[in-house]
């Protein structure tokens, strides 16, 4: 099953991993959203008192996947085999795909193909109840933290690619300049030639 090149070929990603309303995980997700909205990043990432660390990490991993899914979906028309023949994040970082099972030896591929492999692989991990249990009382695997770290590390590469290769499309083509006004000072700092 593939997001862009197989039966799911729709040219946009749609978050599939929904956390059902009324569950404890849903309440954790709402808590995370509320604290993130407060502007206090330390508070947003802090484990809520009395909560299970693995469950907290799981909920935030699902949310991170869904957010990247939607963000990348907005730029798929710009991220093509021709425009991005390699998966990179600037001139110093090139990523090759391997999942450790189907693809053991890393392969060089285009950014859209890499991201397709990645999102399909992550979705498979999130849908695996032995790795990401959704029922209360079902234990997380002993190596859950390691699994989550690998997922997050790889998902972060999509952000890095978007920033380095598609920042102009994200900034100027998708959001009208007047809408950027509240953040213009920050944008100017981030896009200044000497900011690197």
Top-confidence range, 41-45, 51-55, 167-171: 51-55
Q: What gap in Å lies between CA 115 and CA 69, rounded to an integer?
A: 10
Question: What sign does the CA torsion over 145, 146, 150, 156 have?
Answer: positive
Q: Tell me the H-state helices in the chain.
A: 24-36, 41-45, 53-73, 111-127, 144-168, 184-191
Tell me which of 3.40.50.10440, 1.10.10.10, 3.40.50.300, 1.20.140.30 is the CATH number of domain 24-195: 1.20.140.30
Q: What's the pTM?
A: 0.71
The residue ranges of every structural domain in the chain are: 24-195
The pLDDT tens digits of the residues spanning 9-37 come to: 344 454 556 676 666 666 666 666 655 55
């Amino acid at each position: 099953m593939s997001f862009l090149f197989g039966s799911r070929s729709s040219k946009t990603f749609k978050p599939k991993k929904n956390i059902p309303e009324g569950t404890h995980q849903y309440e954790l997700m709402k808590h995370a959203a509320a604290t993130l909205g407060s502007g206090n990043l330390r508070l947003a990432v802090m484990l809520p008192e009395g909560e299970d660390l693995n469950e907290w990490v799981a909920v935030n991993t699902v949310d991170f996947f869904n957010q990247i899914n939607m963000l990348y979906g907005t730029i798929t028309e710009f991220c093509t085999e021709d425009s991005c023949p390699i998966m990179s994040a600037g001139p110093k970082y090139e990523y090759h795909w391997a999942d450790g099972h189907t693809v053991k030896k890393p392969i060089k591929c285009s950014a859209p193909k890499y991201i397709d492999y990645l999102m399909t692989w992550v979705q498979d991990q999130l849908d695996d109840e032995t790795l990401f249990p959704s029922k209360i009382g079902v234990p997380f695997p002993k190596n859950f933290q390691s699994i989550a770290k690998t997922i997050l590390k790889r998902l972060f590469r999509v952000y890095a690619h978007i920033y380095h290769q598609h920042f102009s499309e994200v900034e100027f083509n998708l959001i009208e300049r007047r809408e950027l006004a509240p953040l213009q000072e920050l944008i100017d700092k981030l896009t200044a030639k000497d900011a690197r």
